[in-house]
Structure 1
Amino acid sequence: MLPAALVAWGAAAWLVTAGSPAALTVTVGGVAVAFAAVRFAPLRVLALTSVCLAAVAASCAWRLTTVEHSPLTRLADQHRLATMDVEVVRDARPFSHRGQDAAVVEVRVRRVVAAGQDLRVRDRATAFVDGTPDDLVVGRRLVVVGRLGPSDASEEAAVIDVVRRGPTDRAAWWWEASERVREGVRRAVSHLPEEPRALVPALVDGDDTRVSEEVEEDFRRSGLTHLMAVSGTNLTIVLAVVMLLARASGLRRRGLWVAGALSIVAFVLLARPDPSVVRAAAMGAVGVAALGFGARGGVRALCWAVVGLVFLDPWLSRTPGFVLSAVATGGILLLAPVLAARLERWMPRWCALAIAVPVAAQLACTPAIAALSGEVSLVAVFANLLAGPAVAPATVAGLVGGVLAVAWVPLGQACGLVAGLCAGWILTIGHRAADMEAASLEWHAPWQVLLAVVPVATWLVVRLSARPAVFVGVALGLVVGIWRPPETGWPPDGWVMVTCDVGQGDASVLPVAEGEAVVIDTGEEDAPVDRCLTALGIRRIRLLVLTHGDADHVDGWRGAVDGRRVDQVAVGTSGGPLIPGAPRHVAEVGETFSSGETAAEVLWPPPEAAPGSDRNAVSVVLRATVRGVRLLLTGDVGAEAQQRILRSGADVGADVLKVPHHGSADQDGRFLTAVGASVATIGVGADNDYGHPSAALLMRLRERGVRWWRTDLDGDVAVVVRDGRLSVVTR
């Protein structure tokens, strides 16, 4: 069954981007091969694989055709204003847009009235709504008036910019009941400090809307991100409690399966039928199968679960959560029993399992993690070992507290206190692990190399696990290496840009030659930019660009020029400080500069652009090329200016983006798409009062596959090119 699952998975991941004609062609081919192979016994595996391939391809063809030929898609292409009856299919996610509350919510459009047509449809769409989204929960229906636009996602028919919406109707009783329990969880922890108050709902039902960006980033570096998403871990905990109660009640094999299945259904209702929840439910079903049939039965169930999931939702095949969950489950089923059996020779069984499960999952996921993020967490196993014991009590206490809070809030808060204490421990582990200098390792080679490296590493781990002295010695050596890594040189070899940590401001450096650089902006204070340039060994500034006259970009100029020669200063139409002894001119569109390793061109602003009251809009925008790497430095331009830049026909394509305006929400999605960067840097101050970088901006970067680094969390950020591959080194 394994070949069939892998082929079906790979086909779904390709076909959802290839279009309905390709999917239909694969369907016909799969059916033909299946008919030819089924007659010969040695080819039965090929026949089964072809059947699964044809089924998944047929699902893709049907779904893609439905979207491509939907009346809603046609109206979206025409940017029609429409009145729609919609049903919420995923809870709204709030964000801030130009200082105002807003939300993005996935809906199913059931009826649309536009251009004199009254149409019944059942198409998915993404809606952007102003105001607080508290009433936009799964299952509720409402009428909205909005401007339709085409969607970049092949599974959606449209994007809706809502200009007016009516009240929401109540959902079916099971959705309303689940919402009451979710609200009960939030009330049960409402008296806790901010971080535990946000984390407990994420652990219980995947509600991570209140989790701060700092916690998200630290959990990513420490390998604990899976705890904040609804995953097999959450469901396994719930299943374990249910199974214990069921066994205590006298239920046996079939009864346990029924209890497990009912628990999965209830969990999906509570955590919402998002793709990640459906995937977690499937992995939970795999766990139930393994309980009944052992590891081999579990692997078979995992393969069928993969085929079934990509048949029901082909787009699930491309989501990181699905990739990591399926691979981790496979690793646990295949490797954990072997590793645990060898560790049991010299330690208690509970301890052997506690070590074997995270080690197996991490080894299995390592190639996928490197492919998705370009780095591998070195502290993930240790962090999960330390945080793991607190996850189950936090989840169970939070869930019980949520149920009790429905009846009486003070009683629920008593359980919420227990959940909060456990969540506090998890947060401590996440923060401490992320703060370690060697918390994660940048992977510069192609991720496919790990497909050869990981099996060798797995063989070594299994062999060493039976030798206590060697196993413990290697583990302690790894801990010491992570805790006190060897010092690395700065700047790193092959650097093409450094975004300096200057607090809530901007300062970027491009190398020209040894000791020489182009500097773009200086931040607000003298000391931080001076420190950054000194560490880089910069003694001569060939060109100092001051993008616009705001203090957080120019007031640190004395720190930049102190003890350094400045050849030329370029300012935007909003001006900037006069720097003694340095010739100065106003940068003009089309102006170019080339020296040493760096060439740059001014893309914005046009000469007729007067600063007015918005100096951000006339920031100098540069496109530079260093060692073949294209970099776009954007000052503080907002969405309106970004749209004007696109309309001007300027080539904004780049490999690296210095994110505009410290990551504010005032960004244009089409601009980010046109840039097409794979790496982004964000100059932002810790605990700033502006909410930078905004959750909306980070979500847009994540949707486009852009990896970002922030100076408030990572310090100085150096973009490096080695063997033609981009990586990032922080300091």
Structure 2
Amino acid sequence: MPLLGGAVWLGAIAASLIGASAYPLLLAPGIVARSLTVTHGHRRLLGALVLAAVAAVTITLLRHDAVRGSPLADLAARRGVAELTATVVSDPRTVPGRAGPQAVVRLRVRGLTARGRRLRLGGSVVLLGDPSWEKVQLGARVRARGRLVPADDPDTAAVLIDVRRPEVLAAPDVWWRASAALRSSIRAAVADRPPEQAGLVPALVDGDDAALPAAVEEDFRTTGLTHLTAVSGTNLTLVVGALLLVARMAQVGARGLIVVGLLGIAGFILLARTEPSVLRAAAMGAVGLFAFAHDGRQRGLRALGVAVAALVLVQPGLALTAGFALSVLATGGIVLAGPPMATALGRWLPGGLAEAIAVPTAAQLACTPVIALVSGQVSLVAIVANLLAEPLVGPATVLGLLAGVVGLVWPWAGHLVGTTAAWAVAGILEVADRGAALPGAAIGWGSGPLAVGALAVLCLVAALALPRLVRRPPVAVGLALVLLVVLLGLPGRLWSRSGSWPPPGWVLVACDVGQGDALALNVAPHQAIVIDTGPEPDAVDGCLDRLGVRRVPLLVLTHFHADHVDGLRGALDGREVDAIEVTPVLDPPGGVDLVRETAASARVPVRLAPYGATRRVGAATLQVLHPDLPGPVPGAGDGSSANDASVVLLVEEAGVRLLLTGDLEPPGQQQVASLARGLDVDVLKVPHHGSSHQDLAWLASLRPELALISVGADNDYGHPSSGVVRDLRRDGAEVRRTDRDGDIAVVADGPGRVHVVTGR
């Protein structure tokens, strides 16, 4: 069964990646049957694997063809206006847009009216419309009018944009209303608690993380606790397990317990929403129940294979999602590596404690390569954090659910129970906060094939070796002490004191390139995003050499002034550069021509920095906050419009938020302030080399812990302004400048915490 599940998964991946070109794979059964020279038993097995893969290819391709051949997709290709009758199948949420906030909601279409024709049809559509759509309930039948445009998702027929206020035709069915009432009651039961606790309780119970503060999410990512805030098999196991315990106390018979369990699973799916991630979590939670039972490995593997095959055949889009891979790998790790590790630890530890250590260790080892592929990081504190948080997860989840149920009848009693649930999550929050603050909580790791492949081998070796190593107390304690030393950051501190460059854990380096800007953002070993290249090729080339940067997945030129682009050749020299992104304001023309010619000679594509887009590049998440222009414009022609056309980047990496501002001046600063209200950052690259031409109120509102000024010694411009430096320090920022400090490295100490190591 595990092999069949893997065959189905690989078949769906192949069909999703190569599309219609996968149709020749349907001939595989006949080819394989003629070429097999193995035994009859092996022939049957291989034939079954091939048929399973072909079934996945067929279903995936047919689904994609059905979506592409839908009248919705045809009308979207022509950007036609349509009126849809549909059912809301996801909770609406609000996202920022160029014209203000917009609601996003997924609809299951029932009918279409366009160009005088009415059609009854199915299909999935994503709606972008008026914020009032956020009040529409899941399961409601609605009418919506807007313009259809093509969708990127192969399972989505179209995107409906420019939609005005909703017209509700029918209220949700009773089970959806009951689910919404319970979710609302859970939120209300903890509404008077601190924001972190009030946001985490609903997230634990049913995956409702809308009110979870961003700082908590970052702490959870760093410490490997993110699975607690998403709907996972753990949630299902806890909720259904509590129901079964109550049923046993009520002396329900064996058959009755099966009914209770099935009803519990159905109820949990309704509560957490019938989205693919919830169905995946329900299936993996059920599989996990087999792992530590009698003959758990064989039964668990069979159940895992069935679950993978069923989920992929029902929802082929899951095959390429990181969440699905993490769920399968975590469950597989628990089933395969968990019991041997628990047995080894059980030789000298109590059984419950041995399993509590073995389960998160096995799951983390299995998931680590995929986590590195997605984030470019490896969490070293994850196993310890999960071990400390796990005893609190069960009480918090069960009490949170109980608070919601009781609150439907007696709100005051629901508040009382909700308070106890909040006390439990307070401990989880403390574990996440303290763990994320450890200097060695997470280390940068490459996200390329070689780096991830090497990490996968290391994790496999660790999974095989640990059961033999930890059966002896001295060895196990020694390994734990080594991990503790690393988490406390002692090797990094010794390395830093030895004068090595770059320092371990560096996030950003402001290169000393004289009177200009050149920044390097660490995204993986020997890889950095480069922002501007300074006025001289040799200066930026030397800085990147000192950092060991051999690959640049992205090079951003904030604007075309010489002190930001003339060093481009040095950044490209001897390095693999994937792409250059530039401002859409093509001013001054001389700088524009230099960039085009240098990039063309190096065969590096040049494109516009995508306004509003949020992307993950290795360990960094980037968003372009400015300028908001749909395409290239000529500018003034004399360079005077260049500064306020600077590309502004908001970056998050290793729990640190950085704002990189180019040479933005007060008019542009005010535009950013209006587009990104309430922006709060840890590190600020001070605009325009710290010139006096600043919106000081805006700079103060950013509340940076560290302010970097890239500036040349003894320059003729009076940069930086002593008044600007004084005001930044008065507002609590540590100010560092390249004319005095040389290369400046920003090192992450945990979420929102940094320190500086300088090149001088």
What TM-score does the superposition give when structure 2 sets the normalisation length?
0.71
- Superposed counterparts of 1:187-266, under 5 Å: 187-251=188-252, 254-266=255-267
User: Is 1:605–2:585 an aligned residue pair?
Assistant: yes
Contact 2:389/2:431, CA 8 A, preserved across alignment: yes
* Residue matched to 2:178: 177
Distance in structure 1 (CA, Å) of the matches to 2:25 and 2:705: 47
Change (3 A) 1:78 1:631: closer
Alpha-carbon contact 2:127-2:161 (below 8 Å) kept:
yes
Aligned ranges 1:398-417 → 2 under 5 Å: 398-417=400-419
Aligned residue among 470, 473, 476 for 2:478: 473
Alpha-carbon distance in 2 for matches of 1:9, 1:462: 30
Deviation at 1:391, TM superposition (A): 0.7
- Structure 2 distance, partners of 1:588, 1:418, is 61
Residue in 2 that maps onto 1:22: 21
Distance 1:294 1:587, change over 3 A: closer
Q: After TM superposition, give the deviation of residue 23 of structure 1 in Å.
A: 4.4
Query: Which deviates more from structure 2 when the two are superposed, residues 129-138 or residues 461-470?
Result: 129-138
Equivalent of 1:645 in 632, 648, 660? 632
Write the letter of the residue equivalent to 2:56.
V
Q: Aligned-residue CA RMSD in angstroms?
A: 4.2
Unpaired stretches in structure 1, ≥5 consecutive residues: 501-508, 523-539, 545-569, 573-585, 610-618, 649-657, 665-679, 695-709, 718-727
SS at match of 2:677: coil
Distance 2:356 2:421 in 1: 21
Query: Is this contact kept in 1: 2:627–2:647, CA < 8 A?
Result: no
- Give 2:530's aligned residue: none
- Report the CA distance between 1:210 and its aligned residue: 1.5
Say if 2:561 and 2:588, in contact at 8 Å, map to a contact too: no
Give 1:299 deviation, angstroms: 1.1
Distance in 1, Cα, partners of 2:183 & 2:214: 22
Instruction: Work out whether 1:352 is the aligned partner of 2:354.
Output: yes
Which of residues 683, 707, 727 is equivalent to 2:659? 683
Contact 1:143 1:167 in 2 (8 A): yes
* Aligned counterparts of 1:98 and 1:659: Cα–Cα separation in 2: 18
In the alignment, the residues of structure 2 paired with residue 167 and residue 178 of structure 1 have an alpha-carbon distance, to the nearest angstrom, of 22
1:113 aligned residue: 113
Q: Which of 336, 345, 354 is matched with 1:334 structurally?
A: 336
Q: Which residue of 2 aligns with 1:87?
A: 87
Superposed displacement of residue 256, structure 1: 3.6
For residues 659 and 317 of structure 1, the distance between their equivalents in structure 2, rounded to whole angstroms, comes to 40
C-alpha deviation, 1:179, in angstroms? 0.8
Match of 1:700 in 2: none
- Secondary structure of 2:387's counterpart equals helix
Tell me the distance in 2 between the aligned counterparts of 1:195 and 1:150: 38
CA distance in 1, matches of 2:351, 2:179: 37
- Indicate yes or no: 2:431 matched with 1:429: yes
**1:134 positional shift:** 4.0
Query: Deviations for 1:598-654, whole angstroms, at most 9, x for unmatched residues?
Result: 689975424599xxxxxxxxx999899899999989699767744213999xxxxxx
Who is 1:270 aligned against?
271
Q: The residue matched to 1:91 in structure 2 has which SS?
A: coil
Q: Distance in 1 between matches of 2:581 and 2:478?
A: 55
For residues 647 and 186 of structure 1, the distance between their equivalents in structure 2, rounded to whole angstroms, comes to 52
Structure 1 residue 242 displacement after superposition:
2.3
Does the 8 Å contact 1:189/1:200 carry over to 2?
yes
Instruction: Quote the Cα distance in structure 1 between the aligned partners of 2:703 and 2:476.
Output: 38
Q: What is the CA-CA distance between 1:424 and the residue it aligns to?
A: 1.5
* CA displacement, residues 565-622 of structure 1 (integer Å, 9 cap, x when unaligned): xxxxx997xxxxxxxxxxxxx849998555644689975424599xxxxxxxxx9998
CA distance change for structure 1 residues 407 and 518 in 2, over 3 Å: closer, same or farther? farther
Residues 439-448 or 147-156, more deviating: 439-448
State whether structure 2 residue 518 is matched by structure 1 residue 516: no
Deviation at 1:226, TM superposition (A): 0.4
Aligned to 1:103, what secondary structure does the other structure show?
strand
What is the percent sequence identity of the aligned residues? 36
Q: 2-side partners of 1:277 and 1:659: how far apart?
A: 42
Which residue of the other structure, out of 441, 452, 472, is the alignment partner of 1:447? 452
* CA distance in structure 2 between the aligned counterparts of 1:61 and 1:82, rounded to whole angstroms: 27
1:443-482 Cα deviation digits (max 9, x unpaired)? 2352112232222212331112111122012102211221
> Are the aligned partners of 1:295 and 1:334 in contact in 2 as well (CA < 8 Å)?
yes
Between 1:475-484 and 1:252-261, the stretch displaced more is 252-261
Match for residue 167 of structure 1?
Answer: 167
Report the number of matched residues.
603
Does the aligned pair in 2 maintain the 1:88–1:108 contact within 8 Å? yes
Mapping 1:572-651, distance limit 5 Å: 587=561, 593-594=567-568, 596-597=570-571, 603-607=583-587, 641-645=628-632
Q: What are the Cα deviations for residues 350-393 of structure 1, in whole angstroms up to 9, with x where unaligned?
A: 11111111111111112222222222110000110111111111
Task: Structure 2: give runs of 5+ residues left out of the alignment.
Answer: 520-532, 538-556, 574-579, 612-623, 636-644, 662-672, 682-701, 710-745, 749-753, 755-760
Q: Secondary structure at the match of 1:466?
A: coil
Structure-1 residue corresponding to 2:281: 280
Query: How far off its partner does 1:235 sit?
Result: 0.7
Between the aligned partners of 2:594 and 2:409, the Cα distance in structure 1 is: 58
1:690 corresponds to which letter in structure 2? Answer: R
Is the alpha carbon distance of 1:498 and 1:201 closer, same or farther for their aligned partners in structure 2, counting shifts above 3 Å?
closer
Compare 262-271 and 595-604 and name the one that shifted more: 595-604
- Please say if residues 582 and 607 of structure 2, whose CA atoms lie closer than 8 Å, have aligned partners that are also in contact: no
2:305 to 272, 285, 303: 303
Does the CA-based 8 Å contact 1:185-1:398 persist in structure 2?
yes
